[in-house]
Amino acid sequence: MSSRSLVGIDLGSSSVVCAVGEEDGRRIRVVGVGEAASTGVRKSVITDPDAAQSSITKALDAAERAAGHEIDSAVLCLGGRHLESHPNQAVVSVVARGGAVGGGDLNRVLEAARDGGSSEGCEVVHLIPRAYSVDAKEGLRDPRGVEGSRLAVDAELVTASTAHLEALLACAHGVGLRVDDVVAQPLASAEGVLRDSELEGAVAVVDVGGGTTDIAVFRQGTIRRVVVLPVGGQNVTNDLSTGLHCDQEEAELIKRRHGHCDPGQVLVEEMVTVVGIAGVGRDEVPRRWLAEIIEPRAREMARMIGEALETEAVQKVVLTGGCARLRGFPAAIHQILEMPVRVAVPEGFSGLSDQLGMPEHAAVAGLLRWGQRSTTVRERSNPKVTRSQGRLNRWLHELF
C-alpha cells in the first residue's frame, strides 16, 4: 500500500511555497518542494486573485515535477492581520448515561464554546480547548469518563475574516485543488518549528515574513494567543530602495547580500555597489550606510513584537520566517526583548529535508505536520458545512 501523500501550500506576501511529503512511520519524508515569487498578495492577503492563482500554479508545477506525481488537494495557510484570538468559556450539563462525561457532552460543550466566537464578517477557524473541568475537578486534558454533573471548557478561538478565507478557498479551487484544511499562519509556523521541550516554559513563535509578523504564544503546553503585526522584511526593502535611490529588486538583492541591522558590526571601509533606478548609474556606497538605514526599522519591528508580548510573560522567542535571515535581526530582538532568541528552521523531516529546512519554510512545514495529524481528511469544497472541525494535535489538543 502506498503511504499517504501530504501537501501544504503557503501563499505568502513574498513567495508561494508548495511542499509535498509522504508518511514515513511517525516522520514525514519530503518528496518535493516548489516555490514561486508571489504576486497578487499584500500583507498576506489576496489582493489580485488571478495573479495569486498564477503564482500558486507555478509553485504547484515545480512541486509536482519534484515529487513525480500530480497534486489534487492540499492544506492551506491563512495569513493576515484579520486573524485574531479570543479566550472563551462554556458550560453544559452532563447528560451521558452513568453520570460520566461522554463524547456527546464533549461535543456539546465545544459547540457552546464555538458559539459567540463568530461575528458579522468573521468566523472561527480554530477552536482549541485548553482545559476542561467536571464539577470541582479542574485542569483536565480529556474529561471523558470523569463523573459529575457540570462540564466546563476553557478554550482559545482563532477567528478570521470570512471574505479573506473565502478568497483563499476560491484561489485554490480556481487552480483545480480540493482543500483538505486551512490553518492560521501563526499556528502553522509554530507547528513547523516549535520543539516539544520549548512548550514546558512560556514561549512565543515569531514568524517574520515579507509582509507580516505572525506570533503564537504558548504557556503550560497550550496556546495562549495569536497575533499578526503588519510589518515584515518588505518594510526593510522599501526603506533601502528609498534611501539608496534604487528599485525594489536591487534593494532586495542588496539587503540579502550585504544587509545588517547593526552598523557597529560593519567595517567602515567596506563598500557596496548600488545600481540606480531602472538600471541607470552605479554608486559605491559604504556598507555601513545600509546598516544605518536598516537599524531603525529592525529596532522598530523588535519593539512592536515586544509590545505585542508585553502582557504574555514570555521567557523565550523562537524566531523564524525569511526575515530571521537578516544579519543582526535576531540580536536586535534579543537586545530589545531581553530574552533568549532561537533562530528556528523546520527539523525532523527525512527525504529532501534540506529543501524544507529554512526559516521561510516554517509555515509550509507545519502544514505537512498538520495534515499528518489530521485523523480524517475533511474537504473544504463547501466550507460552510465542513469548516472548523478540529484535529488531534500534539499541543493544540483539539479533541474532535
Ligand X SMILES: Nc1ncnc2c1ncn2[C@@H]1O[C@H](COP(=O)(O)OP(=O)(O)OP(=O)(O)O)[C@@H](O)[C@H]1O
Binding site for ligand X (CB under 6 A): 12-15, 38, 44, 79, 209-212, 232-234, 237, 252, 255-256, 259, 321-323, 325-326, 360
Closest approach of ligand X to the CB of residue 164, in Å: 12
Residue with CB nearest Mg ion? 209
User: 303, 61, 25, 317: which is closest to 176 by C-alpha?
Assistant: 61
Smaller CB separation from Mg ion, 96 or 345: 345
Smaller CB separation from ligand X, 15 or 85: 15
Smaller CB separation from ligand X, 14 or 162: 14
Give strand pairing partners of 333.
Answer: none
CB 191 within 8 A of CB 48: no
* Binds 32: which of Mg ion, ligand X, none (CB < 5-8 Å by kind): none
The arrangement of strands across the sheet holding 27-37 comes to: 178-184, 73-78, 5-11, 15-24, 27-37, 350-351
Residue from the set 6, 11, 12, 63 that interacts with Mg ion by CB under 5 A? 12
SS3 12: coil
CB 193 within 8 A of CB 106: no
* Binds 117: which of ligand X, Mg ion, none (CB < 5-8 Å by kind): none
Closest approach of ligand X to the CB of residue 177, in Å: 19
Give strand pairing partners of 90.
Answer: 153
CB 71 within 8 A of CB 177: yes
* Binds 211: which of ligand X, Mg ion, none (CB < 5-8 Å by kind): ligand X
Which of 6-14, 46-54, 114-122, 347-355 is the region at the interface with Mg ion (rule: CB under 5 A)?
6-14
Which of 9-17, 156-164, 219-227, 381-389 is the region at the interface with Mg ion (rule: CB under 5 A)?
9-17
Smaller CB separation from ligand X, 150 or 256: 256
* Binds 40: which of ligand X, Mg ion, none (CB < 5-8 Å by kind): none
Smaller CB separation from ligand X, 124 or 323: 323
Closest approach of ligand X to the CB of residue 215, in Å: 12
The three grid cell numbers given for residue 140, joined into one nine-digit string: 483536565
Burial class (CB within 10 angstroms; exposed 0-12, middle 13-18, buried 19+) of 9: buried
**Backbone CA torsion sign across 248, 235, 8, 22:** positive
Closest approach of Mg ion to the CB of residue 289, in Å: 29
Classify residue 323 as left (phi > 0), alpha (psi -120 to 50) or beta. alpha
Smaller CB separation from ligand X, 80 or 143: 80
Burial 190-200 (b: 16+ CB within 10 A, else e): bbbbbeeebbe
Q: What does the per-residue mask of binding to Mg ion show for 205-234, with x meaning CB under 5 A?
A: ----x-------------------------
The three grid cell numbers given for residue 132, joined into one nine-digit string: 476542561
Smaller CB separation from ligand X, 143 or 211: 211
Residues in the site for Mg ion, rule: CB under 5 A?
12, 209
